Amino acid sequence: MLSYGYHHSFILLIQIQHLSKSFGSFTAVNDLSFSVKEGEVYGFLGQNGAGKSTTIRMMLSLIRPSVGTIRIFDKDLSTERNQILRHVGAVVEKADLYNYLSAYENMRIFSLLSGVNLTRSEILYKLAVVGLEQRAGDKVKVYSQGMKQRLGIAVAMVNDPKLIILDEPTNGLDPQGIADIRNLIIQLSKEMHKTVLVSSHLLSEVELIADSMLIIHKGKKIVEGSVAALLDPALVQVEISTTDNLQTISALSNSQWAGQMQKLDAFKIILEVKKEEIAVLSKWIVDQGIGLTGLHSSNRLENYFLSLTSAHADN
């Protein structure tokens, strides 16, 4: 497990310690520990089935942990559940809405269910935040999936929560819907000063919005830290294709590049290098008498994520 880029002069809103959840012989979450700072967008990343939704359900007290502790707002979830959850808003998977009622009526019902008697102007304001004020009177059944998801986020805000948890909020959305949710999350964080935890497997989206991130694989944490530190722009991943990859791997393994090799097989060679080293690396390969047929560099989170999960695939 790797950790990068943390400092200690901040308020921790979420503290998860040694969290595990088993269903029979299957362990969905395995000794997971992480923390979320107040006011940040926190990307909770992993492939489908990695344990993200199970972790979120434990954080919302929908299922009990097998082992471990969850502290939110410096309170223990196991003993102060109600005090915590009244300051939390969440959309778990798809928004649960009344399709034959209008957006306004949905907001009214969910506010009353939450024990919050919102005024008409307060409801319209929250709908305006998610871009639905002009469609407040329309029945939800005529909404696009993206509009339903934004309404779900508005519903999650009826109690003016300090913490908003969104489980795969862009699932099933078209590119415009994804962009709308991305912009909304940024607005919630930067303009409304909410702490937002976003789980996703769409890593390119999380890279654009998150301040910090956690990657889990098969229920285990494998990397966490600030996005800026993890995706240092001075470092890039270089994928190399040659006329003889096995010869190239052998040569690299006995060179100054050995410690920078990320993934090696007959089809793909990936190294992490500084940008200014790319030209030096390509010249070095040619100097070994190896034909260089392709060189592609990227610091995208997808490459980083894939290299980590493939490295842990057998664990």
Is 142 part of a structural domain of the chain?
yes
Is 247 part of a structural domain of the chain?
yes
Q: What is the pLDDT of residue 299?
A: 60
The span from the CA of 315 to the CA of 293, in Å, is: 33
Among the candidates 187, 208, 228, a domain finishes at 228
pLDDT at 311 > cutoff 70: no
Poorest-pLDDT segment among 50-59, 217-226, 290-299: 290-299
Domain of residue 260, CATH code: 3.30.70
User: Are residue 68 and residue 172 in the same domain, yes or no?
Assistant: yes
**The most confident of 99-108, 230-239, 249-258, by mean pLDDT:** 99-108
> Averaged over 74-88, what is the pLDDT?
95
At 298, the pLDDT band (50, 70, 90 cuts) reads low
The span from the CA of 97 to the CA of 45, in Å, is: 26
Please name the residue that has the structure tokens 């791997």.
249
Is 220 part of a structural domain of the chain?
yes
Is 304 part of a structural domain of the chain?
no
At 190, the pLDDT band (50, 70, 90 cuts) reads very high
10 Å CB burial of residue 310 (0-12, 13-18, 19+) is middle
Please report, as a single letter, which amino acid is at residue 183. N
Structure tokens at 169: 């909020």
User: Are residue 250 and residue 289 in the same domain, yes or no?
Assistant: yes
Is 67 part of a structural domain of the chain?
yes
pLDDT at 4 > cutoff 70: no
User: Are residue 261 and residue 151 in the same domain, yes or no?
Assistant: no
User: Are residue 179 and residue 280 in the same domain, yes or no?
Assistant: no
Q: Select the more confidently predicted residue: 54 or 172.
A: 54
10 Å CB burial of residue 289 (0-12, 13-18, 19+) is exposed
Among the candidates 228, 261, 282, a domain finishes at 228
Average pLDDT taken over every residue of the chain: 88
User: Are residue 66 and residue 180 in the same domain, yes or no?
Assistant: yes
Q: How many domains does the chain have?
A: 3
User: Are residue 82 and residue 186 in the same domain, yes or no?
Assistant: yes
Structure tokens at 213: 């991130």
Tell me the chain's radius of gyration from C-alpha atoms.
23
Range of the domain at 250: 235-298
The span from the CA of 150 to the CA of 165, in Å, is: 13
How far from chain centre, in Å, is Cα 253?
A: 34
Is 282 part of a structural domain of the chain?
yes
User: Are residue 77 and residue 109 in the same domain, yes or no?
Assistant: no
Render pLDDT for 165-179 as a digit per residue (tens, 0 to 9). 999 999 888 989 999
pLDDT at 309 > cutoff 70: no
How far from chain centre, in Å, is Cα 93?
A: 14
User: Are residue 152 and residue 166 in the same domain, yes or no?
Assistant: no
User: Are residue 25 and residue 130 in the same domain, yes or no?
Assistant: no
Poorest-pLDDT segment among 124-128, 145-149, 205-209: 205-209
The span from the CA of 174 to the CA of 207, in Å, is: 18
Is 94 part of a structural domain of the chain?
no
pLDDT at 204 > cutoff 80: no
User: Are residue 19 and residue 107 in the same domain, yes or no?
Assistant: no
Is 93 part of a structural domain of the chain?
no
User: Are residue 53 and residue 184 in the same domain, yes or no?
Assistant: yes
Q: What is the pLDDT of residue 301?
A: 61
Q: What is the pLDDT of residue 130?
A: 95
Domain of residue 187, CATH code: 3.40.50.300
Strand partners, 104: none
Q: What is the DSSP letter of 313?
A: T
Q: Where do the DSSP E strands lie in 168-302? A: 195-200, 212-217, 220-226, 235-242, 261-264, 269-274, 292-298
User: Are residue 141 and residue 254 in the same domain, yes or no?
Assistant: no
pLDDT at 269 > cutoff 90: no
Among the candidates 193, 212, 228, a domain finishes at 228
